[in-house]
Chains A and B, each alone.
Chain A
């Protein structure tokens, strides 16, 4: 999950945030890390670029991108499907 946090920070240009400051279960959007709808789209790009996972339906985004933990779990699940 530390790697994923670093990827998120890089992809979203969160220059003043350190990986260890993002809690595993902290909500990424709104009251949590304060991400917006464009960030959500960038996270979709991140999954595609770094993990080869395509999300076709943006409406799935809120569940997958709720926190770093939900994102990591999704990546693990998707990778085990293709493996």
Chain B
């Protein structure tokens, strides 16, 4: 039986995400996928879902949702005070939802991206093998008030009471692990020092495409040809600004790629609050 979730309040920028859209970069199509893959995975894991089942991703301001039939859901990622109708519910464990229940979330402002997983995943359209929202690929770019998201309300599976404590992300000043990028060795030793010893403050202009910092460093690198990039690639612009490409980034870029974040670092950085500081820490492959 099919049920659906009605979006009563959409929040700031709420989307459907799965692991991402892989294999279409050759057409210039971004990977997309959950910004914090770690929290996304936990939601599916706790629900006994497939790894790639689609979750709702919200950023900073969570949505309010109403369910029209029974199911089970799970909340992970950014910490919230969560209420089903007016009853407080826990994050990081299965929540049993009944017909007409309303889920209200109040953000606690310590992380950025939150996830609402549902038993068997949300069943929005699949485009290029993924349900992840992306402008001009999926018909929707973000959820709006009144949207209805289909789910499978057939939940004859065993209820699990497994509970996980929320993983802790780094605090301000935390180390973000990086590999050397292809153009790293072209930097002067002073530039390398600045890059690896400075603290960088996350700028409010950050989004699903890229995270930017307030600080800049000098840049003496020559121009380069447009080349492939991946989520986690750190670009150095001609004005010395650093841009960390995130899940919705373009497939190619023309700025020197000075660093590459580890997969864990991408998740951690995604969840680091605006105005907080990070420091890059070089690791070997």
A and B: interacting chains = no
Residues in chain A within 8 A of chain B (CB atoms): none
Residues in chain B within 8 A of chain A (CB atoms): none
